[in-house]
Amino acid sequence: MAEFIEPVEHLADMFRRLEGVGKKSALRMAFSVLDLSEESAKEFSDAILDVKTKVRLCSCCQNITVDELCPVCSSPKRDRSQICVVEDPRALAAIERAGVFQGLYHVLHGEISPMHGVGPDKLKIKELLERLKDGEVAEVIVATNPTVEGEATAMYISKLITPLGVKVTRIANGVPVGGDLEYADEVTLRRAIEGRRNI
Amino acid sequence: MAEFIEPVEHLADMFRRLEGVGKKSALRMAFSVLDLSEESAKEFSDAILDVKTKVRLCSCCQNITVDELCPVCSSPKRDRSQICVVEDPRALAAIERAGVFQGLYHVLHGEISPMHGVGPDKLKIKELLERLKDGEVAEVIVATNPTVEGEATAMYISKLITPLGVKVTRIANGVPVGGDLEYADEVTLRRAIEGRRNI
C-alpha cells in the first residue's frame, strides 16, 4: 500500500523528477501544493506548461529565450568578435550578473561525460562551429566548469576550433576572491600559483 | 531587468510558494522543468491540479482522502475507542508506518501558535469534540509535536476534553531509540529521567 493517497504520491513522484529533489522534499512540496489556493495551484500548473511551450533556444547562441533571438544576441551593443562558451543558461546568467563580459555567448547544454553517456554530439558544438564560419569571431573563451567534465569539454572544443584560426582561451583557475587560502584545495592552489601575475 | 526570461522566473516564483523552497532551489527546479519531456511536463501540470481537485478531508478524522472517509476511518479492524490526535497528515503517516497504533486518528491541520496568528479556531478541534459526543471514545492520545506550540495545543485540547469524562494522554518524551545520550538535549534528558520505568 502506498503511504499516502494516490494524488499526493503521484505529485511527489513528479517533483522527484526535478534535479536535486529527494524523496522527503518531494513529499513536503506535494503537501505544500495542497495548502495552496485553487488559483495558485492553477497558476502553478499553467506555469509548468508555459515554460515548455513559450521557451525555446536562441537560433544563434542556443540560450533559452522567448523570441527568435535572445536579448544578448539581439543587442547592438555587444562585441561580436568574442564568444564565451558556457555549459548552461545558468552559467550564462552568472556571468551576465557579474557584468564582466560584453561579447556574445554560446550555450552547450551540457558537458562531455562518457560516464553519463553524454558524447560531443549531444552538445550544441556543431552550432558553435557554424558561427565561426564567417570570420567575424576572433576569440572563443571557454567558460565550462573547472571540473573533469568541464575541462574535457574545453579541450575537445579547443582542438576543433584552433585549426580554424580562431583564438581559444580558458577562464582562469585560482583562489576565489574573498576566500581563505587555508580552505582552498591543492589543485586550486597549484593553479593559483601557476597562474600568478606581476603586481 | 529580470535575470531570467519571464516564463522561467514565473515558474520559479511558483516553486518558492512551497514550504521550505528557497530562491536557488526554486530556480534550479524551474530549469529542471525545461529539461522534462512535453509529456512529463503535462503530467506534472495535471498532477498539481489533481491534488487540489481530487483530495479532500475525511468527514470523520479530517485526514486527507480521495473518498468520503479515509482508509483508517472506513476500516472495520480499527479500535474505535481510541483517537490519536496529530497535527497533520504527515504525522499520521509516520505513526501508521510504525504500525504501533490500532485506533482512529484526528488531524488538527496545524498547531496553536499565537506568534503566527493561529488560534484554536483555525484547527479542527470543534470536529474532534463532535466525535466524542456519542461516548464511544474512551481515550484521546495527543500526539502533537514536542515543541512549544505542540505542547500548548496538547494542553488546550486536554482542558477541553477532560471535563467530558474522556481520558486524555500525551505521547512520552525521552531519548530516541538508537540515539546517543551524549547528543540528547537537557530537556529531553530531564523528560527521559522523569518518565523512567521499572525494568
Q: Among A38, A12, A26, which Cα is nearest to B56's?
A: A38
Architecture of domain B6-54: Orthogonal Bundle (1.10)
* C-alpha span between B132 and A82 (Å, rounded): 76
Domains A6-54 and A77-176 fall in the same CATH topology = no
| Rg of chain B over all Cα atoms, to the nearest angstrom | 21
* C-alpha separations of A150 from A60, A157, B37 in Å: 22, 11, 25
Could you give the strand order of the β-sheet that contains B139-142, starting from the edge strand earlier in sequence?
B103-107, B79-86, B139-142, B167-170
What local confidence, expressed as pLDDT, does residue B2 receive? 54
* C-alpha span between B160 and B106 (Å, rounded): 15
| Rg of chain A over all Cα atoms, to the nearest angstrom | 21
| SS (HEC) of A79-142 | EEEEEEEECCHHHHHHHHHHCCCCEEEEECCCCCEHHHCECHHHCCHHHHHHHCCCCCCCEEEE
Kindly state the helix (H) or strand (E) to which residue A25 belongs, with its residue range. helix A23-35
Who's near B104: CB < 8 A, 6+ residues apart?
B60, B61, B72, B73, B78, B79, B80, B82, B83, B84
Chain B: nearest CA to A180, how far in angstroms?
Answer: 24
What local confidence, expressed as pLDDT, does residue A182 receive? 79
Q: Is the per-residue pLDDT at B5 higher than 80?
A: yes
Return the number of other C-beta atoms located less than 10 Å from residue B127's C-beta.
Answer: 17
Predicted confidence (pLDDT) per residue in A165-189, tens digit: 999 999 888 888 877 877 778 888 8
**Mean of pLDDT values over A50-78:** 95
SS3 state at A198: coil
Cell of A53: 511551450
Who's near B184: CB < 8 A, 6+ residues apart?
B175, B176, B192
Q: Is the per-residue pLDDT at A29 higher than 90?
A: yes
User: Which of residues 64 through 103 in chain B touch A, CB cutoff 8 A?
Assistant: 64-66, 88-90, 93, 96-97
What local confidence, expressed as pLDDT, does residue A162 receive? 93
What local confidence, expressed as pLDDT, does residue B179 receive? 77
What local confidence, expressed as pLDDT, does residue A51 receive? 94
Q: Is the per-residue pLDDT at A2 higher than 60?
A: no
* Cα A8 → chain centroid: 32
Nearest to A11 among B5, B17, B48 (CB): B48
Ordered DSSP codes for B99-165: T---EEEEE-SS--BGGGTB-GGGSTHHHHHHHTTTS---EEEE---SSHHHHHHHHHHHHHHGGGT
* C-alpha span between B129 and B160 (Å, rounded): 8
Cell of A182: 587555508
A39 to chain B, any CB pair closer than 8 A? The answer is no
**Mean of pLDDT values over A60-81:** 95
Contact call for B64 and A90, based on CB within 8 A: no
* C-alpha span between A147 and A16 (Å, rounded): 26
Domain locations along chain A: 6-54, 77-176
Cell of B10: 514565473
Nearest to B44 among A27, A28, A48 (CB): A48
Third-level CATH fold of A77-176: Dna Topoisomerase Vi A Subunit; Chain: A, domain 2 (3.40.1360)
A29 to chain B, any CB pair closer than 8 A? The answer is yes
